Structure 1
Amino acid sequence: MFLILLLLINPTIKKTTLVNTKPTLAVLVDNSKSVTFFKEVKNVKEILNTIAKNKELNSKFTIETFSFGENIQVLDSLSFDNNNTNIYEAIASINELNKGKNAPILIISDGNQTIGNDYEYVNSKQQIYPVVIGDTTKYKDLKIKQLNVNKYSYIKNKFPVEVILNYEGEETVKSKFSIFSGKKTVFSKNLTFSKLENSKTITANLTSNKEGVNYYTASIRKIEGEKNTRNNTKSFSIEVINEQTKVLILSSILHPDLGTFKKAIESNKQRSVEVQLAHKFNGQINDYQLVILFQPNYQFRVVLDRIIERKSNFLLVSGANTDWNFINKKQLGFSKKAINQTENYGATYNESFLTFFQKNIGFNEFSPLKDKFGDITFTKDHQDLLLQNINGVQTQQPLLSVLEQNNQKTAVLFGEGIWKWRSSSFLNSNSFQDFDQFIGNLVQYLASKKKRNRLEINAESLYPANANIHISAFYVDKNYNFDDRASLEITITNKATKEVTKLPFSLINKSFQASIENLPSGDYSYKVAVVGQKISKYGQFKVTDYEIEEQFTHANSDKLQKLAQKAGGKLFYKNKTNTLFKELMDNKAYFTTQKSITKEQNLIDWKWILFFVIGLFTAEWFIRKYYGKI
C-alpha cells in the first residue's frame, strides 16, 4: 500500500544541466552540369572529403551539407546533372533554415547562375565564404545572350526577332550574325565588337511564309581564339497561323458599345471590323467570319434569316432597345420573357466555364449592364462565362453564354453598356490589354470554323537539351464537362532513331500532366490517346542541343567576390582551402554557446515500483492460496 501511495504522489526534483551548442557551418555544393563542363568533379569531391576529415573543423562546427541546382536539397550524393543553377535560392533557403543561429555559409561553385534573382544582391545575415571552382582565365568569347521572339505569327506577315549579342575580350574583332531556316539564310549582318563596344542588339524582321511550326537557328560566327562555341548558336520556333478575320457589326441604333467592340477587336491587327446600320445593309454575310447583332429588332429579319440558313456564327448583344418578341420567334436556342422595364445586371465570373480559356479580369467589379427584365430560357446546350448579379444578389441567370450545335457557334451578351467595362479595366491595370484580350478570346472562338475537340494538348514546339519536358492535356466528356475518370497516355517517337517512349498522364487539379526527362537532341513526334476511347491527338516538337550550363567560358569569380564582401566573408580558390579552414578556426565570431536547461525529473522510477508492487500482490496471492485463506 505504501508503494501504491508513492506511485500516486510521484515526487519530482528539479535538475539543471548544461548544453553546449556549436555554431553551424552550412556547406553548399554546386550540383549543376557546369561542374562537369569545367572538369571540376574530382576537385569538388576532394574539397568535401577534406571537410569531412578535418577533425578540428568538425570539433568547432556542426557541419550541414547541401547540394543545389534548380533547387536545394540535403546532400545525399552528387550527380552534377542539374540543368540550371539558382545560387540566390540556395543562399536564401539556408538563411531561412538557420535564422537566429550563428551559421556561416561555405559555397562551392563556379558562380555562374542561370535562373533566379541576382545572387549578388541577396540579403544574407550570415557570412558567406565562396570557394571558386572552374577556369578563372578569361578567354575571348562571342555569345548570344538573349533571344526574344513571339510564339505566333500570321501568314505572310513580318515578325520581329530581337537578339542580344555579347563580347568578352580586349581586342577588336569582326564577325557575322545570321539566322537560318533550315539551310537557307533568311537574315545576316556583319558586326564589329571591341572592349568598349561589347554588346549589340539586333532586330530582324522575318516573313512568315509557311503555315504551321517553323524552326530557325540564330548563329554568330566563331572568332579566332574563341574557346567555347556552344553559346554561339541558339534555336527558336514560331507557329504561323493562317487566320484573317473580318467582323461585321450590325446595329439598329448608335451606341458607344459599337466603338468599344471595334477598338477591342481591331487591337489584333489581323482582324478588321465594319460597323453598319441594319436597315441599310445589303451586303453578303459570307464576306465575314463573324457577325455581331447589336440590339436586334425587326430590321434584322433578312440578315438573321441568312445566318440561320447558312448556320453562320454570330454574337447577339441585347439591351433596352432589343425586340425580344422578334428574337424569340426565330428559335435561336434561347429566349427571354421580357417586359418593358429595364434592370441593371452585374457580372459574376463562372469558374466552371470550359469552352475556352478566359481568366477573371475583375468582372465582379465592373459596372452593371442594362437589359430588359425577364427570365432567360435555353433550348440548346450552353456554357455560361458570366452570370447575373442583381444588387449584390447572385443568380443562376446568364449574362454571357455560348452555344455550339451542328458546327454553328453562338454567343449572347444579355446587356448593353460594355464600354464602361473597357474604361474600368483601364483604370484597374492602366491598360486596355485585359479587356481587349477578353473580347479577342470570344471573337477567336466564334470566328473559328474548327469543331471543338474533346481532347486538347498544350505543348511547346521547342525544348532545350536535357530539359524536363512538360506536356499537359485537357479532356472532356460528350457534354464537354471535364472528365477526371479518363486515363491518358503519351507515345513519343524519335524521328531519326525510331525509338519509342510511352508514359501515362497524371491527374493534377483539372488537367492531365506528363513529364519526360533526359530526351536526347532531335526531332520527335507524339501521340496522346485516351485509353479505351478512339480519341487521340498528334503533334511534334524538337529538342535542341543548346545546354545553358555550357554557355560559360570561365568561372564568375568577380561576382562571387562581391557576394563575399557584401556578406562579410572572404573568397577563396580551390587550392587555398587550408587557408579557408584556418580563417574559420581563428574567427572568434564563431564560438560554442553554453546554455543551462532546468528539467523536472521523477524521484523514483515508476516502472520498477509498479513491477515490484505487482510482484508483491502475486506473492501474497500464492501464499494465501497455499494456507487456504482464499
Structure 2
Amino acid sequence: MFSNLIISYPWWTVIPVLFAGLIYAGLLYYRNKSNKIGFGWIAVLFTLRFLAVSLLAFLLLSPFIRNKKKIIEKPIVILGFDNSMSMTMGKDTTFSYPDFLLNLDKISTELSKKYNLDKWAFAENATLDIAPDFTGEVSDYTQMLRQVNENYKGANVGALVVFGDGIYNRGIDPLYAATEIKFPIYTLALGDTSVNRDLKINDVRFNSLVYLGDQFPIEINVNAFGLKNENATLKIFAFGKEVGRKSIQIGNNYFNKSFQFNLKAERQGSQRFRISIETNAEEVSKENNQRSIFIEVLNNRKKVLILAHAPHPDLGALKESIEQSKNYIAEIQYANKLKAKISDYDLVILHQLPSKTYPINALLTNLEKQEIPVLFVLGKQSSISSFNKNFGGLSIQSTIGKIEEARANLNPSFSLFTFSPEHKQQLENFPPLKVPLGNYKVSQGASVFAFQEINRISTDFPLIAFTNNSGRRTGVITGEGLWLWRIHNYLTEGNTAAFHAFIDKIVQLLMARKDKRHFRVITKGTYPSYQNVVVSAELYNQSYEPVNEVDVNLKLTNEEGEQFNYAFSAYDKSYQLDLKHLEEGVYRYQAQTKMGSKNYSAKGEFIVSSQSLESRNLQANHRMLYRLADEHDGKMLYPDEIKTLPALLSERGDLKSRVYYEEHFSALHSLPAILLIILGLLSLEWFLRKYFGSY
C-alpha cells in the first residue's frame, strides 16, 4: 500500500508531522483540569485529535497516490479498399457490388469481436472510415501503404487486408511502397484478369506548347485486343471541327501501333483536342476510346537581342542555347550596324559593351527608361568604367587591358533560382573564363551566383551576379569564353544540357517582371477533374496594401459559350472562390471589382482535364496482389474465400492482445475520502466532548 503513496519531500519529514499531531493533542488533553471525564475517554479524544491534526499536517507534504490501470489492447486489423472506378468497369462476373458489401459487413462483424477494425478507402487519397463507392478516378496504392505505415508506427497491428484489383496508375510499384511495412498483408483479389475484346487509345505524345500558325505533331498509340480483322477509325477534333482522320485495319489480336498527325495551330490560347477511335465491334468498355489533350497556342515568342562589340564565338553559343527553348528567339547584331528597335526586345545581352569604341550611352539610357533587362558579358574590349556606371550591383577597379583566368565557384547561398547538383558540378569543372584583372566590390543589393576561382584559390570576386533596380533586373558575367563551356559540356557529357540550363535560368530570371497590377486572379492553370477548382484573387490599394472589403465577381465561360456568374468570398487578406467540380474543358474567366472610383478587371483561362486513367487498363493485376501478400507473410484470397479470412487470422500465433499498465497520480487532498475522514475525526471528537460536557 505504502509503495503507492508518494510525497514531494523525504520520508523523514513525516516525523515532524507526527510530532505536530502529538504536541497539539497533548496541549489539549494532557493534565487539562477542565476535562471531567475518565482517562479512557481522554485517550480516545487524544487519539482522534492526534490523527486529525497529523493527517492535516501530512497534506502539507503534497502526497500523491499512484494507481495502476490494466489495459488490454486488441490487435488492429486494417482493411484497405480500392475505391477506384476500375473496380466496377470490367466484366468480372464474380464481383457484385451489393453482395460484396453484404459479405463485407458480415466479415467485419465477426472480426470486430477479436480485433479493432480500421477501414481505409483509397483512390486519389487514402481516407479513414469512408465506405467505398468506387468513384475514384485514379488508383494509388502507394499513398495508402505509406499512410498506413506512418499512422500505425508502434501500434499493435495484426494485419493489413487489401481489397482491390491490383491495377495502379499513380505512385510507384506497391511492392516497393510496402517494403517498410512489418506486419502481415493479406489481399483479396477482385476484378477480371482475362484479356477482353477491347480497343483503346493507349498513349498520346504531343508538345504542350506551340506557336500560332506552326505545324506540330500529335502521335497516338492504339491498342486492340481480340479484334483481329476488325476496322476502326481514328479522329481528332479541334477548333470546332474535325482536323484529322485515319482508317485502321486491325491485323491481329494483340494490335499495337502508333499514328502521327501533323496539325496546324489555328487559334491562340488553350485549345482542347478531342481524340476518338471508333469501331462497330463489341468491346469490354467504350470509355477508353476517348481522350482529350490540351495544347497552349502562343501568339509570339520572347525576343532576345545579342548586341556585340565585334564577332565572337560566344555569340553563337548564346544564340543556340537560348533558342533551344521554343519560348525565345535570339538575334545577333553589332554595335556599328545596330538596326533594331530596342522596344521590340524583352532582353538585351551586351557582349563586351559598352566599349571605348562603342560607348552606346544613348542605348543604355533608352534601355533603363524602357525598363528592359540587360545581361552584361565582360571581356577585353569592355569599358569597365562605363560598366560600373550602368550596373548598380558591382564596381570593378581594373588595370586597363589586363585579364586573368577564373573558374566558377558556385555560391551555395544563392536563391534567385535553383540549379541541379549534377549541373552545378559540371559547371564548376568548365574551363576558366577570361576576366578583367582588378579589385571587385559587390553592393549590398547584388546576388552572386558564382565566385571566381583563380589558380585553384577561391575568391569573393563575383564571376556571375545579378541586381534588381526598381523591378528591372540586370546581370553580369564578368568574363568571356562561354563558347568553351558549351564545347566542354558536350565533350565530357555528350550533350549541352548543363550549359543550356545555365543560360535558360539566367534568361528566365532577367525576363521575370514584377507584377504591378492592383488586381489579379490566380489559378493553377490545369485542374484534374476529380478535384475542386479553387480560384483566388488579390486586390491592392494605391499603396499596394492588400484589400478584401469590396465585392469581386467572376464570369465563367465554357467551351459551348455558356456563362456562369460567381462571387468571391473574403479569405484572409485576399479572396477565394470554390467552383467545385467542373466538366472537362477549357474555361475562360473575367473578374471585375471596383475600389473607390476605379474599376479593375482581370481575365484569363484555365483547363479542367479528365485523365481517364481508370479506363485505360481494365485487366486486373492479381500477380502483384499475390506477391504483395506472399512477401509479407500473408495470403491472397479470391472473393469466394473471403469467409475464411477470420479463421486465417485466428490461426496465426502473432495476433495477440497487448497488455500494459497506465499509471495515474492523484493528489491526496483532492480525494473526497480523505476530506471525509478528517471531517469524521473532528466531528466524532466534538460529539464526544459535547456528550461528556467537556466544553
TM over 0.5: yes
Give the secondary structure class of the aligned counterpart of 2:276.
strand
Name 2:209's counterpart in structure 1. 152
Name 2:274's counterpart in structure 1. 217
The farther-off stretch of 111-120 and 256-265 is 256-265
Give the secondary structure class of the aligned counterpart of 2:124.
coil
| Pairwise CA distance, 1:300 | 1.8
Mapped partners of 2:78, 2:579: distance in 1: 33
Contact 1:142 1:166 in 2 (8 A): yes
Change over 3 Å in CA distance of 1:443–1:72 after alignment to 2: closer
Name 1:86's counterpart in structure 2. 140
Pair 1:234 & 2:299 matched: no
Name 1:53's counterpart in structure 2. 109
After superposition, where does 1:9-408 map in structure 2 within 5 Å?
21-34=73-86, 41-54=97-110, 57-78=111-132, 80-99=134-153, 101=156, 103-121=158-176, 122-123=178-179, 124-133=181-190, 138-169=195-226, 171-181=228-238, 182-188=240-246, 190-192=248-250, 194-195=252-253, 197-244=254-301, 247-252=304-309, 257-268=314-325, 271=328, 273=330, 275=332, 278=335, 281-286=336-341, 289=345, 291-295=348-352, 296-301=354-359, 304-305=361-362, 308=365, 313=372, 314-318=374-378, 321-326=381-386, 334=392, 338-341=396-399, 348=411, 358-360=417-419, 370=435, 373=439, 386=448, 399-402=465-468
Give the secondary structure class of the aligned counterpart of 2:397.
strand
Change over 3 Å in CA distance of 1:217–1:574 after alignment to 2: same
Name 1:574's counterpart in structure 2. 639
Task: String of CA shifts for 1:353-378, please: whole Å, max 9, x gaps.
Answer: 6xxxx435579986698455466789
Mapped partners of 1:435, 1:285: distance in 2: 27
Q: 1:517 aligns with which of 567, 576, 580?
A: 580
Contact 1:40 1:133 in 2 (8 A): no
The farther-off stretch of 32-41 and 221-230 is 32-41
Kindly provide the amino acid, as one letter, of the partner of residue 611 in structure 1: L
Mapped partners of 1:549, 1:333: distance in 2: 56
Kindly provide the amino acid, as one letter, of the partner of residue 164 in structure 2: S
Mapped partners of 1:426, 1:223: distance in 2: 53
Change over 3 Å in CA distance of 1:598–1:244 after alignment to 2: closer
Name 1:415's counterpart in structure 2. 478
Kindly provide the amino acid, as one letter, of the partner of residue 540 in structure 1: E
Change over 3 Å in CA distance of 1:111–1:376 after alignment to 2: closer
Contact 2:232 2:277 in 1 (8 A): yes
| Pairwise CA distance, 1:60 | 3.1
Change over 3 Å in CA distance of 1:319–1:455 after alignment to 2: farther
Pair 1:500 & 2:565 matched: yes
Name 1:468's counterpart in structure 2. 532
Mapped partners of 2:310, 2:363: distance in 1: 21
Task: String of CA shifts for 1:565-607, please: whole Å, max 9, x gaps.
Answer: 444433334344323334334x234543565759799999982
Mapped partners of 1:284, 1:129: distance in 2: 75
Residue ranges of structure 2 left out of the alignment (5+ in a row):
1-20, 22-53
Q: 1:607 aligns with which of 656, 671, 678?
A: 671
Mapped partners of 2:143, 2:393: distance in 1: 57
Mapped partners of 1:189, 1:396: distance in 2: 62
Contact 1:486 1:530 in 2 (8 A): no
Percent identity, please: 22
Mapped partners of 1:4, 1:202: distance in 2: 94
Mapped partners of 1:84, 1:335: distance in 2: 51
Give the secondary structure class of the aligned counterpart of 2:267.
coil
Name 2:9's counterpart in structure 1. none
Mapped partners of 2:182, 2:393: distance in 1: 67
Kindly provide the amino acid, as one letter, of the partner of residue 316 in structure 1: F
Q: 1:540 aligns with which of 585, 590, 605?
A: 605
Contact 1:524 1:541 in 2 (8 A): yes
The farther-off stretch of 216-225 and 261-270 is 261-270
Kindly provide the amino acid, as one letter, of the partner of residue 118 in structure 2: E
Mapped partners of 1:576, 1:213: distance in 2: 51
| Pairwise CA distance, 1:503 | 3.8
| Pairwise CA distance, 1:286 | 3.1
Residue ranges of structure 1 left out of the alignment (5+ in a row):
none
Mapped partners of 2:248, 2:331: distance in 1: 46
Contact 1:528 1:537 in 2 (8 A): yes
Change over 3 Å in CA distance of 1:76–1:478 after alignment to 2: same
Change over 3 Å in CA distance of 1:385–1:145 after alignment to 2: farther
Contact 1:494 1:522 in 2 (8 A): no
Name 2:554's counterpart in structure 1. 491
Task: String of CA shifts for 1:42-75, please: whole Å, max 9, x gaps.
Answer: 3343233212332xx3333332222222222221
Greater Rg over alpha carbons, structure? 2
Give the secondary structure class of the aligned counterpart of 1:297.
coil
Mapped partners of 1:386, 1:477: distance in 2: 34
Contact 1:527 1:539 in 2 (8 A): yes
Mapped partners of 1:563, 1:172: distance in 2: 39
Kindly provide the amino acid, as one letter, of the partner of residue 186 in structure 1: G
Contact 2:568 2:575 in 1 (8 A): no
Kindly provide the amino acid, as one letter, of the partner of residue 113 in structure 1: Y
Backbone CA RMSD of aligned residues: 5.2
Kindly provide the amino acid, as one letter, of the partner of residue 440 in structure 1: D
Name 2:629's counterpart in structure 1. 564
Contact 1:23 1:590 in 2 (8 A): no
Q: 2:589 aligns with which of 515, 526, 539?
A: 526
| Pairwise CA distance, 1:152 | 0.8
The farther-off stretch of 385-394 and 30-39 is 385-394
Mapped partners of 1:478, 1:618: distance in 2: 78
Kindly provide the amino acid, as one letter, of the partner of residue 46 in structure 1: L
The farther-off stretch of 181-190 and 5-14 is 5-14
Change over 3 Å in CA distance of 1:13–1:410 after alignment to 2: closer
Task: String of CA shifts for 1:123-165, please: whole Å, max 9, x gaps.
Answer: 3543333334456665311122332322211233333323333
| Pairwise CA distance, 1:213 | 2.3
Contact 1:208 1:240 in 2 (8 A): yes
* Number of aligned residues: 605
Change over 3 Å in CA distance of 1:393–1:283 after alignment to 2: closer
Contact 1:466 1:520 in 2 (8 A): no
Change over 3 Å in CA distance of 1:410–1:30 after alignment to 2: closer
